[in-house]
Structure 1
Amino acid sequence: MPGQVGAIENEQQGLLAYLAQMRYVLRLTAYGLTDEQLRAAPSASALSIGGLIKHCAATEEGWISDVRGERQKLDYQAYAENFRLRDDESIEDVLTRYDGIAARTEKTVTEIGDLGHQIPIDHSVPWNSKDMTHWTLRWVLLHLIQETARHTGHADIIRESVDGATAYPLMAAAEGWPETDWLKPWRPA
C-alpha cells in the first residue's frame, strides 16, 4: 500500500480507505521486530507495539459488533488485557485476527451502505455522552480512524525508542522502495 490514500470516489470509500491506511501504518510499526521487541515498553507507559496493535483490533471489533447490533458488555479486565501481547500470542496471530476484523468492517459498511445508519449509544460507560441517543455509521468510522491514528502515533514513538526506526523508512523497507539520498529503507541493526 502506498504512503498516501489514492483517489476516492465517495465518502464511504474514503472513510474505509483512510481506516485501511491507518491500520497499515500501525502494522508497519511491527515490521522486522523480534518477539521481545514487540512486547517491549520502552517509554513511561506500559504500551508496547504488539499490545497497541492488539488493542486497535479489539476496539474495531467492538465498534463493528455494536454497529451490527451485537453489543457486548464491556469487561474492564479484558479491556486492559487488550493492551498487552501475551507470551502465548504471536504477532502473526494478532495480525491475522486484525485482517479478519478489517474484512468484517468493510463487509458490514458495504452491506449497510448508509453512513447515516444509527447505532444506539451505550450509556453504561462514563465516556459516552448522556445527551445523545445514537451514533451514526459515519461517526463510528471517523472514530475508528481517530483511535487507530492516535495509537499509531504511540506505536511510532515506541518503535523509534526500540530501534530508531521511523514510518517512511519502515514503509520503504516493507515495500521495497529504492534507496535515495534523502530516504534510506530501514535495515535491522
Structure 2
Amino acid sequence: MSGIAPPVADERTALTTYLAHQRRLLRVAAHGLTDEQARSAPSVSELSIGGLIKHAARCEAFWTGLILREQGGPQRTSDESDPEEFRLGPDETLAGVLAEHAEAAARIDAVIAAIPDLGHPVPVPKGVPWIPAEVEEWSVRWVILHLIEEISRHGGHADIIRECIDGATQYPLLAAAEEWPDPWFQPWEAAHTGGG
C-alpha cells in the first residue's frame, strides 16, 4: 500500500477509505514495538501507543453501539476522562489491543456498509457536557467524519510517542511493515544491542 489514501470515486468510498487509512497509520506506529515499549509513556503526557490503540478500539465499539442503538452496548462517560483507557495495562499486550482494534474496526465497517443512506440518524448521548444539549441526532456520515478526526488526532499522538521511544517515523515504519519494494525511505529496523 502507499503512504497516502488511494483515489476515491464517491462520498461513501472517500469516507471509509480515509477512515481505513488513518487506522493504518495509527497502527503502524506500533510496528516492531515490544509490549514494554507499547506500554511506555516517554513524554510529559501519560499516553502510550498501546493505550492509544486500545482507546481507538473502544471508541469505534462505542460508535457502533450508538449506530445500532444497542441496549447495554459499550458504556462511556467521556472520551478522555478515564486515564486507564489510554494506557496499556500490565495484564494487556500490544497484540491483544491490536486484535481488539481490528475487530472493532471490522464490525463498524460492516455496520456502515449495511446502511444504504449515510444520512441515517444516530442518537446523541445526553448529559455529556461537550455535546450541545439541543442536538438530538447525528448521521452515520457525521460519525465517520468524527472517527476520522479522532483516529487522526491520536495517530499524531502516537507518532510523537514513537519518535520519543526509538526515533522511528511514519514512512520508514510503513516501508518496513509493508515491505515496500525499492522504498524511497530506509525501512525501519530494530536497534540491535550487541553483547561483548
Q: TM-score w.r.t. structure 2 length?
A: 0.90
How many Å separate the matches in 2 of 1:32 and 1:16? 27
Residue-by-residue CA offset, 1:22-55 (whole Å, 9 max, x unaligned): 1111010000011111111011110000000100
How many Å separate the matches in 2 of 1:64 and 1:22? 18
Q: Aligned match of 2:142 in 126, 139, 144?
A: 139
Matches within 5 A, 1:9-88: 9-70=9-70, 72-75=74-77, 79-88=82-91
Q: Which consecutive unaligned segments of at least 5 residues does structure 1 have?
A: none
Going from structure 1 to structure 2, the CA distance change for 1:178 and 1:73 (only over 3 Å counts) comes to closer
How many Å separate the matches in 2 of 1:6 and 1:31? 22
Aligned 8 A contact 2:22 2:152 in 1: yes
How many Å separate the matches in 1 of 2:36 and 2:43? 15
The DSSP-based 3-state class of the residue aligned with 1:119 is strand
Aligned length: 188
Residue-by-residue CA offset, 1:97-134 (whole Å, 9 max, x unaligned): 11111111111111112110111211221111112111
Matches within 5 A, 1:102-113: 102-113=105-116
Going from structure 1 to structure 2, the CA distance change for 1:72 and 1:162 (only over 3 Å counts) comes to closer
Aligned 8 A contact 1:120 1:134 in 2: yes
Map of 2:178 onto structure 1: 175
* Structure 1 residue 142: Cα displacement: 0.2
How many Å separate the matches in 2 of 1:78 and 1:146? 18
Percent identity over paired residues: 48
Matches within 5 A, 1:155-174: 155-174=158-177
Aligned 8 A contact 1:123 1:129 in 2: no
Going from structure 1 to structure 2, the CA distance change for 1:111 and 1:41 (only over 3 Å counts) comes to same
* Structure 1 residue 69: Cα displacement: 0.3
The DSSP-based 3-state class of the residue aligned with 1:42 is coil
How many Å separate the matches in 2 of 1:102 and 1:27? 12
Which structure shows the higher helix fraction?
1
Q: Which amino acid aligns with 1:100?
A: E
How many Å separate the matches in 2 of 1:142 and 1:16? 9
How many Å separate the matches in 1 of 2:81 and 2:11? 34
Q: TM-score w.r.t. structure 1 length?
A: 0.93
The DSSP-based 3-state class of the residue aligned with 1:185 is coil
The DSSP-based 3-state class of the residue aligned with 1:145 is helix
Aligned 8 A contact 1:53 1:94 in 2: yes
Q: Which amino acid aligns with 1:52?
A: L
Q: Which consecutive unaligned segments of at least 5 residues does structure 2 have?
A: 192-196
Q: Aligned match of 1:130 in 130, 133, 158?
A: 133
